[in-house]
Chain A
Amino acid sequence: MAVPFFSGARSFERRWPRIRELLGEALDSGAFVNGRVVAQLERALEDYTGAAHAIAVGSGTEALIVALESCGVGRGDEVAVPVYTFFASASSVVHVGAKPVFVDVLPGSYAIDPGDLEARVTPLTKAVMPVHLFSQMADMTAVMDVADRHALTVVEDSAEAIGMAFDGVPGGRFGRAGILSFFPTKTLGALGDAGMVLTDDDEVAERCRRLRNHGQVPGERPYVWDAMGINSRMDDIQAAVLLARLETLDDDLARRAELARRYDARLADVRGPVQTPAIVDERATAAWYVYLIEADDRDRLVDHLAANGIETEIYYPRPLHLQPCFAELGYGRGDFPVAERCASRAVGLPFYPDMLDEQVDEVCAAIASFYERESEPAAQTEGVL
């Protein structure tokens, strides 16, 4: 039986009556972007996260662009960004005209290393973007401390962090602004791209609302532009799906935690160099978005799983400082040893609430068979000789 990396089809079908009802509201209104269902989703996420403002946009990437720009980050500024993360954490910095300065991560949490951050701050550093990956948040106490001492604006790339918290504070709520991504495979996922900015700052929120809609001031005369904004409007179909799924998010989070425990238990029996994920800080509240293992011989393991019909995703095969598009920043191999090691070892296993227990077992059995096979050839060779 094949195990896809992601599937949300079964739970979608289960939730269809509610989704259809919300979709109907959107269709009745005739407004397809930034319409009434989008507004409902914004209010619902304000309630869920406790943020004063949730501003819906077209994607997580655009949420970062809108958030950075609304916080006053622009030309001539440097922004400290962890080097082991999705591309958008750094591309968003470039898209507002600023320069990313990379910082190594900590093993285990895969989050920004506060010590390395401190070392890389320069007089031009305007902001820092901690990123919360996979299942747990960065050490936000330490990050906020460095930020306070160097007067850095904190914009959290909390794209994956819905449901996560640190010291009881939800992801996205430490910084001047935070963001959420609703990419389809996310913990709260749409059927296309969608994102959200979170902030308690009224001015930042107001700027976000302009920037996402061409620089148009809400409620003012149409086609008068106050800023050179972008078009980053969430569509109401995605909002309908998200609103329905938000209603069952806590159940989904519980199921994810259950699946993570099952993986942990099954992989503990595998005789092989597989490192299962751990929540490294007792102040961190986990939310299992990705179940990421580290493994020796990762690439061959991935091939073996693929040959058995099991899809995986390598988060991330290449740290940002080694991406061709950032070559001109002047970094080289060896500059970020922790990130480089993670990039050679980490792989995300199939993981989503619709996943069956037996599928977890199947993935783990396939991993076990890979390492068993690995230990065989030597013996066989001996026998032949």
Chain B
Amino acid sequence: MILDSAVVPYYGMGRRTARDRKLIEATVREVAACDEFILKRRVAAFEEQLCRYSGAGGAVAVSSGTAALQVAFAALGVTSGSEVVVPAFGFHSSASAVARLGGTPVLVDVDPESWLVDAERVADSLGPRTAGVVAVHLFSAMADVAAIAAAAGDRWVLENSAVAIGMRRDGRMAGRFGNLGIYSFQPVKPVGGTSDGGAVVGDDGELVTRCRMLRNHGQDGVHRFLHHLVGFNARMDEITAAVLSHRLARYDGEIARRAEIAARYDAAFADLAPRLRVPPPAGHERVYYTYVVASLERDALERHLAERGIESKVYYPLPLHLQPAFRWLGYDEGDFPNAERASQESLALPLYPEMPDADVDATIAAVLEFHDG
């Protein structure tokens, strides 16, 4: 049964779920039958699979991408007084997770074309109290983390690769460039669970071990109820892990279908610049979590699509420095002009592997119609 209510749904969760319905039901029943619920063999197997897939030395499955950031920042030692450089354009968790540990996010503007943070801007934002840098990948493209790490010197770099599993730059997977990287397995993500989920990956055994303890109340996995660290409850459950294993195994095939849809959008919209700009060259092969265009008439285009039953998304309507949650940082409008422009122009179009060609056609037609008018 498909209950996606829009004519052209954005995520197509009805279609995506219908495909795995039997698997999900069977998994729930199996997990219940064996009385193994949290951080057991299915989670361990998924972690191993994730190491093989990403090439990471260690993977720690957690309860969400946001929890992965919390765990990673705590493992890296963010505490009261730590300053952490965070790009001004992106999801809030990169900054919130720092602040929740008592640290201060120091925001930095992004590149005007890619909307990604870059090495030069990071270098300019470093100060004596800078503990580390968050490099954030967005939509379908990777920041150049190798260059950012070089600019950061002996400070750590946390790679927020929440959306970037499967993306590679110079043959190396996103999440593998920073001291730690994170992935999100939110249900709507390309590798999505049946609940929120995430992972921290890294090669530094000691850091990975700290993450492992921090996700489960600071326990070492051997001595129950002995708490070495003031850890979190950020555990992945067995149902989620089993479903994720299944979906990660078929992910590469889905990447190809995602690219196919993106290529159709690219070709159809190539001539709409400057009113609408398709994603620019990224310096690596894009992997499409979302297909995001830059539109000079974004709000009108969004309305135009909505009127035709075509769902689109605005990532993100406000840059971090203008979000109510971060007013306390003391920034003003105009402080990060590229991030502000990105927030005004960004529009994500429907894209998911099960998306019917007819829906792609309808979306293309509606976008073209808007620009003909």
Contacts and interface: CB of A to CB of B under 8 A. Distances in A.
A87 B231 CA distance: 9
Interface residues of B, number: 67
A192 B225 contact: no
Contact of A191 (B31, B96, B235, B317): B31
Nearest to B316: A223
A237 B20 CA distance: 14
A29 B3 contact: yes
A33 B195 contact: yes
Contact of A27 (B21, B196, B230, B238): B21
Interface in B84-105: 91-93, 95-96, 99-100, 102
Contact of A30 (B17, B28, B238): B17
A29 B4 CA distance: 8
A108 interface: no
A325 B100 contact: no
B352 to A, nearest CB: 11
Interface string A310-327: 000111111000011110
Nearest to B96: A228
B227 interface: yes
Given A9-B32, A325-B229, A191 B37 contact: yes
B248 interface: no
A253 B93 CA distance: 41
B229 A23 contact: no
Given A13-B33, A27-B21, A91-B217, A192 B66 contact: no
B195 A235 contact: yes
A241 B195 CA distance: 14
Nearest to A354: B35
Contact of B230 (A94, A191, A223, A237): A94
A228 B194 contact: no
Contact of B226 (A9, A12, A60, A323): A323
Nearest to B328: A228
Given A58-B196, A193-B235, A228-B325, A325 B230 contact: yes
Interface string B316-352: 1110000111100000000000000000000000000
A317 B226 contact: yes
A239 to B, nearest CB: 10
Interface string A279-311: 000000000000000000000000000000000
B14 interface: yes
B38 A224 contact: no
A225 interface: yes
A193 B62 CA distance: 12
A27 B37 CA distance: 20
Contact of B225 (A62, A193, A227, A314): A314
Contact of A9 (B1, B35, B235): B35
B168 interface: no
B90 to A, nearest CB: 10
A61 B325 contact: no
A30 B233 contact: no
A208 B348 CA distance: 30
Nearest to A223: B316
Given A91-B217, A214-B92, A228-B96, A28 B25 contact: no
A321 to B, nearest CB: 12
B323 A225 contact: yes
B231 A91 contact: yes
Contacts of B102: 97
Nearest to A29: B3
Interface in B206-254: 217-218, 224-233, 235, 237-240
**Main SS of chain A's interface residues?**
loop
Contacts of A265: none
Contacts of A226: 324-325
Interface in A212-235: 214-215, 221-231, 233, 235
A190 to B, nearest CB: 8
A238 interface: yes
Contact of B317 (A12, A59, A223): A223
Contact of B325 (A19, A215, A231): A215
Interface string A355-382: 0000000000000000000000000000
B244 to A, nearest CB: 12
B16 A235 contact: no
Nearest to B91: A223
B38 A318 contact: no
Nearest to B237: A192
A225 B217 contact: no
Given A61-B232, A87-B225, A314-B225, A228 B13 contact: no
A325 B21 contact: no
A150 interface: no
A317 B29 contact: no
Contacts of A87: 217-218, 225, 227
26 contacts: A4-B35, A9-B33, A12-B29, A13-B32, A16-B29, A30-B13, A32-B195, A33-B186, A58-B63, A58-B64, A61-B233, A87-B225, A91-B231, A192-B38, A192-B195, A193-B38, A193-B63, A222-B314, A223-B317, A225-B324, A228-B95, A229-B96, A231-B65, A235-B196, A241-B28, A324-B226
Interface of B: 1, 3-4, 11, 13-14, 16-17, 21, 24-25, 28-29, 31-35, 37-38, 63-67, 70, 91-93, 95-96, 99-100, 102, 186-187, 193-196, 217-218, 224-233, 235, 237-240, 313-318, 323-326
Interface of A: 4, 6-9, 12-13, 16, 19-20, 23, 27-33, 58-62, 86-88, 91, 94-95, 97, 184, 191-193, 214-215, 221-231, 233, 235, 237-238, 241, 313-318, 323-326
The 5 closest A-B pairs by CB, nearest first: A192-B237, A235-B195, A30-B13, A61-B233, A231-B66
Given A13-B32, A91-B217, A323-B227, 20 more contacts: A7-B35, A28-B14, A30-B17, A31-B13, A61-B217, A61-B232, A86-B225, A87-B218, A91-B218, A91-B232, A184-B38, A193-B38, A193-B237, A215-B96, A225-B92, A231-B64, A235-B194, A237-B24, A314-B225, A325-B230
